[in-house]
Amino acid sequence: MSDLGLFMKQLIRRPHHVVALAPSSDDLARAMAAHLTPDTGRVVELGAGTGKLTRAILARGIAPRDLTVFETNPDFCDCLRARFPGITVHCAGAETAAGTVDPGIGAVISGLPLLSMQALTQMAIVGGAFRMLARAPPLRSSPTPTAPRSRRAWLRNLA
């Protein structure tokens, strides 16, 4: 089944497990993964969906054993395991990643529409991502149409 077909089927069957309006485009996935190299080390992907970004991450030379993905939709998780042997798939929310993955991650990439989520969920996900990283970013997230009312207040709450 195509990415779009699988995505639409899950959007109808499990609307609470699909938080994006459409799967990421190939161009967006390549742009988000462009900074990765085989030397990046372990990578965590949040909100793997149908695997568009997963494919782009692996295409940058990240070894499957070094890629851990988090996805809440069980059918997407099954698809990811079938399409990308060797990656680690956690069928769990992104907010659980920091408690699941050992620290020292080289990069965290999120395909989640973070700004459409409640502020506490945003802070749990982004704060957890920073705790997993071996050093300061790269932390990449897909673009969103609106920004929080007070970005400065939002960032203060991450500390």
Provide the whole-model pTM.
Answer: 0.76
Q: Give the pLDDT confidence of 147-156 residue by residue, as tens digits.
A: 554 555 555 5
pLDDT (mean) for 136-153: 52
The tokens of 82 are what? 């079938």
83-100 burial: b if 16+ Cβ within 10 Å, else e: ebeebbbbbebbbebbee
Strands 67-70 and 107-110: unpaired
Rg of the chain in Å (alpha carbons): 15
Asked if pLDDT for residue 29 goes beyond 70, the answer is yes
Q: Are 135 and 105 in contact (CB under 8 A)?
A: no
List, for residues 58-108, the tens digit of each pLDDT value: 999 999 999 999 999 898 899 999 999 999 999 999 999 999 999 999 999
Of 52 and 6, more confident: 52
CA separation, residue 4 to residues 52, 76, 105, 128 (Å): 10, 12, 30, 30
134: pLDDT strictly greater than 90: no
The mean pLDDT value for 6-20 works out to 59
Q: Residue 33: which pLDDT band, with cuts at 50, 70 and 90?
A: very high
Residue 16: the pLDDT is 62
Fold classification of 3-158 (topology level)? Rossmann fold (3.40.50)
pLDDT of residue 75: 87
